[in-house]
Structure 1
């Protein structure tokens, strides 16, 4: 009799655990918000919706136009470019609309663009254009916009498209010269830049939250049309996604199975339509979240279930699902 009771207890506990995982997973999915903007260049309205495309609402009206907004890892601040005449500024605004300010107290050059938060939220890498030398350089500042220093200063060519490695210690970037592959450098003013050792003309890598997978933007041969590729943790073993699954500004979602970004297509009349879409990287199934032809993805956020205020973009949803998938 005691043995039967023990077996029943085990099945009950197992069933309860499965129900809990299912409930938390769906609750986390329901909390995940996708943020997007109209495609106009001078747009200042930030919208958001649920992961299934429902409950669309105007979330923030910025005092100035926002170009390429980037959400901080703690989900509290938005970093973006302001494009006034003759000068580009990096700006910061809190997610609730307060705290609007310039990021850099002492910018190294008049044009400062393409800011990217480090995964731990402590640093920001950005491009700075030197008009005297007529070239783009890379700088790193702390999260407050102070203590800027130049990186990869040993390279004389234009450097652009900076992105962080998951460890927040290394930075990848593109070099504007024929035959150049992706380079990387430690986030240190004295570090020497190195070329990545693979035969691929890439200009951007994004790691999945569990750091096991990458999406890589680039081309197999130099000068060919760019595509979006699925790769392993080292951005190797690349598989090109089909044309419909190629998304602009693509980012991994916390389940390590989907990416979200902007799906664009040119119509017969020459007009380019853009919508926010989610792609399953295994099946390449595309699901559009907007259908107005004038929406672009900017970032996602799931603050109510964030595990850490700064660090990897992992959640209980992502942790639970990744335990059962992609082992």
Structure 2
């Protein structure tokens, strides 16, 4: 019976986010702008890290992996959603649905693990700066990145194969704008309650363990910042840490809502909004908060613009002095403060 039910599946139908009414057209345009900004910001950051030797450090190596994930995240969902909106239909094959689930879960788990490892990098840089070259040597960085990608592949393979193993003999209309695991489980004609419970339990390991590492790392960072003598450095560090924690909160909060809260406690409309945060908004914010505000990245950007002939005196001044920070050489701060300002 199960084989016959599964053989009936030809395509799924995605409901999409927007209708063709006026307000929805404005929202669609806004999503398109955010999508473009996110891709452009992450692509520029990847290019700068690759081309500028001054950015060949452990921190920027990890940031390059984050940007790579943030390029892939919206590419898996937004182009398909936009094409369905423009064509007026939302069909997707079983293979396409499986691919969306797999790559989204791969990148989501990998990003969650990577964010926790990046918080450890900041902890080492601020609390143990003299041991940083040893604790964050190249082999350790490669191990970190490999762990994040491998954990994503492992979780995505298991969850996708289990989800597609269930029979889908009822409606094939997915009340979502992409194939996400919780939305697909609602269509199964089998009892998925045990699997949903195990999914919530596994979410504790997949989400809460990295989040606990992030919380611990930033607690130590903030404690170290409180002992700094420069009020300016403390203010800068607190502002930057709060920005980092905001992005982490958006990503983890949305993921925990989707994968740890049982589906009966949230509506499809809520799922759509929450999914936009970690599949579109967070990838757009990450390059702005994590890197493009850093002085080293701004200097690398000026260098690239100078090579291509697009730099002017005003452009250089705006990029280097867009923040309120005084020049680094005029700051009477300790070595630890320099590390905090460089890392954060």
Q: Scaled by the length of structure 1, what TM-score is found?
A: 0.24
Indicate the structure whose relative CO is greater, using CA pairs within 8 Å and at least 6 residues apart.
2
Q: Scaled by the length of structure 2, what TM-score is found?
A: 0.23
Which one has the bigger strand percentage?
Answer: 1
Which one has the bigger helix percentage?
Answer: 2
